[in-house]
Structures are given as C-alpha cells and as structure tokens.
Amino acid sequence: MAYPPYYVLISHSTLSNTSQAISFRHPTIQYHYSDDSPLSLLPQHPQEHVLVLNYDPQSSAAPPTVQSISETLVVTRLKVEDAPGAAAAVGDNDGKNDKMFIVETCTDDSTPHEERKQPQAILAHFKYRNSIIRRALSYPDAMTTALQAPSSNITEKT
C-alpha cells in the first residue's frame, strides 16, 4: 500500500533583484481527500499561502503535481527524492511514505512602483523573471520527462 506524502519541504526563493535568497521550511500539512469540501482549502487570512499537492497512490502513471491557491506565491517545481534516513527508520510498516517531496516556490518581493532604473538593470530583471516563468511553465512537462528518463533518481513503488 502506498502512503500519502509525509516528508514535505518548501524551498522558497524571492524574485528581488538584490538577492536570490532561498530558504527551506516545513509546511503545516492538512490532508484533504476527494470527498472533502474544497472550501476548507481557501486561505483564512491574506498572509496565508495554500499549496495543493495532488497525489494519487493508486495511479502509478500520473506523477504528483502541486498548485498554488495563493495570489502571490508561484510553484516552479516539484522534486521527489528518497528521504535521507527514511529507509533506516525503525519498522517498515510505520505508515509513512519514504519519499521526500520538495516543492520549489517563489514570490516577487519587489515594490510595484520603483524609481527610475538604468536600462541594463531593467533588462536584467526582465530576463531573470522570464527564466522563472519558463521554469514554472515547463514544470508539469519537466516532471513527466524526469519520470521517463532511465537515469532519473525518481522512483515509484507499485
């Protein structure tokens, strides 16, 4: 039997031009099943970010995906890897999925109305934001390609 995701990390980066800070966080996980009301997924306050991880343990053909319900948070990638130390944990039937799900997200922390900048700085910022958009748009296809690649480190149990 496949268990729902247990080891989940959020890898968050900002789109500010001054730094590319990346931080890892442990999210608060709420399991939501297909017969549950979708209203419970809505953010309770403006600063709350909600990510939905679609995971079907019965379907080995469909890879897991992640979507953001929040207005300011964008999901750019989902990595599924072996969780370090999970295989060495005591008891094989402890009810935990031994895969680590790393959700990569980003936000744009720049102010909406900035002072006049040099054209080179504006162009560099534009190219950087386009690279983030390209990564986000290729996310589901990139995940499918990674699952089909023979040298991929992503494995699924059947």
Q: What is the pLDDT of residue 32?
A: 86
- Other C-beta atoms closer than 10 Å to the C-beta of 110 total 14
- Domain coordinates in residue numbering, the chain: 7-148
Domain 7-148 has CATH 3.30.460: no
Q: Does pTM surpass 0.95?
A: no
Q: What is the pLDDT of residue 152?
A: 41
Q: What is the pLDDT of residue 79?
A: 93
Q: The tokens of 123 are what?
A: 């162009």
Find all residues with CB under 8 Å of 107, minimum gap 6, and list them. Answer: 12, 14, 15, 72, 73, 74
25 φψ region: left (φ > 0), alpha (ψ -120 to 50), beta (else): beta
Q: What is the pLDDT of residue 145?
A: 54
Q: What is the pLDDT of residue 155?
A: 44
Q: What is the pLDDT of residue 83?
A: 87
- What are the 10-residue block averages of pLDDT along the chain, 158 residues in total? 83 70 84 86 86 84 88 89 76 74 83 67 87 81 54 44
Q: What is the pLDDT of residue 150?
A: 47
